Amino acid sequence: MARLQTLPLIRAFRKTMPKARLALIEGFSAHITEWLTSGRADIGLVHNPEPLPALEIKPLRQGRLFLVSLATQAPVGRVPLRELANYPLIMPERGHIFRKLAESAAAMAASSCASNGKCQASR
């Protein structure tokens, strides 16, 4: 995704500031956010950043997540994020935004289950 977003930005940068120097680095969103706050980078493309007072955040695009499974185990229709706790998942490392979203949804589902006594069996 970053490469699709980056090419138009590079072209616009070169057109607007032909004598300026541009260096591109890649990394995980958490790393890029740290580079921005520490001054190592001036601009960054990150997925779903957490609000920080030191950063100005402007959304560029919205995306959708998909649950992929064997056809024999696929749920019918959309799966609300809060129901992901009912599925065995292969997850990215801790700190990755998709993992944070899934863990947050699982915690909310567990909290809701405990408070109303209506829990779904794990699959």
pLDDT classification of 118: cutoffs 50, 70, 90 = low
Domain boundary among 43, 62, 81: 62
Same domain, 52 and 88: no
SS3 117: coil
Full-model pTM: 0.53
Q: Is 121 inside a domain boundary?
A: no
Same domain, 55 and 87: no
Same domain, 58 and 82: no
Render pLDDT for 75-109 as a digit per residue (tens, 0 to 9): 888 887 767 777 787 888 887 777 887 777 777 77
Q: Which of 32, 47, 45, 37 is nearest to 97 (CA)?
A: 47
**Does residue 121 have a pLDDT over 50?**
no
The residues, ordered by sequence, that sit 6+ positions from 5 with a Cβ below 8 Å of its Cβ are: 45, 60, 61
Same domain, 76 and 58: no
Q: Which residue range is the domain that position 19 belongs to?
A: 1-62
Q: Is 51 inside a domain boundary?
A: yes
Render pLDDT for 4-59 as a digit per residue (tens, 0 to 9): 778 888 899 999 999 998 888 888 888 999 999 999 999 888 877 888 899 999 98
Q: Which of 115, 109, 95, 102 is nearest to 27 (CA)?
A: 95
3-state per-residue secondary structure call for 11-79: HHHHHHCCCCCCCCCCCCHHHHHHHHHHCCCCCCCCCCCCCCCCCCCCCCCCCCCCCCCCHHHCCCCCC
